[in-house]
Structure 1
């Protein structure tokens, strides 16, 4: 049976779990700023959206008894690559060196009208 983690302070926008435990690895579903229970309109504010993505993800990490140093891979999806530098400014404050591996991909659109979505993989 699948072991999953869900955080009270992050919502799902479909039929999925916030994170799935696969022994040593925990796979986190993507989070957007719109997945916060008190989601406010942050359209155009990529810094605030990026921070909210991490706030949501770190809430799920707490449920799995993990910390940011356990993160080994991050995938970032942006609807506009012009937001890359601002996203990086916020991203850099979430981790300590050496940083996790990362991929950043431009996408046409994201669920709920978000401008950024972030997913992670952690290792116990």
Structure 2
């Protein structure tokens, strides 16, 4: 059975989708734009945007009773692969030890003209 997860500590969905869905022991978090859920604004620099996207991911994980240690896969969408190093530095400050699997993809454009969007899959079991 599919269960939607939603929190006010991350930006609300800007379309007909859930912030996250839980099925069994897996949590699928929709791509998180770098929108501050309090101000509804987006930071300007790629570093600040990457941090905000990951903060939004963290907030959704917390709403589901989990944390970043349970993330098994991330997908990072960038509007410019030249920003990979900067995003990677921020990313590395959020994940350590056994890093999740990851894909990084350059795209032509992201919603709201963001520079980065990050989606994750987490396993909620204790294994």
TM-score w.r.t. the length of structure 1 is 0.93
- 1:89 is displaced (CA, Å) by 0.4
2:93 match: 93
Answer whether contact 1:33 1:39 (CA < 8 A) is retained: no
Alignment-derived partner of residue 81 in structure 2: 81
Gaps of 5+ in 1: none
- Aligned partners of 1:106, 1:23: CA distance in 2, in Å? 31
CA offsets 1:31-88 (integer angstroms, 9 cap, x no match): 0113634133423x11100000011111111110011110000000000011000000
What SS class does the counterpart of residue 33 from structure 1 fall into?
A: coil
Contact 1:12 1:35 in 2 (8 A): no
Structure 1 residue aligned with 2:115? 115
Q: Is the partner of 2:35 in helix, strand or coil?
A: helix
1:91 is displaced (CA, Å) by 0.0
- For 2:47, the equivalent position in structure 1 comes to 47
- Indicate the residue corresponding to 2:34 in structure 1: 33
TM-score relative to the length of structure 2: 0.91
Over 3 Å off, 4+ runs? none
Q: Which runs of 5+ in 2 are unaligned?
A: none
Query: For the residues of structure 2 that align with 1:29 and 1:36, how far apart are their CA atoms?
Result: 15
Quote the RMSD (CA, aligned, Å). 1.2
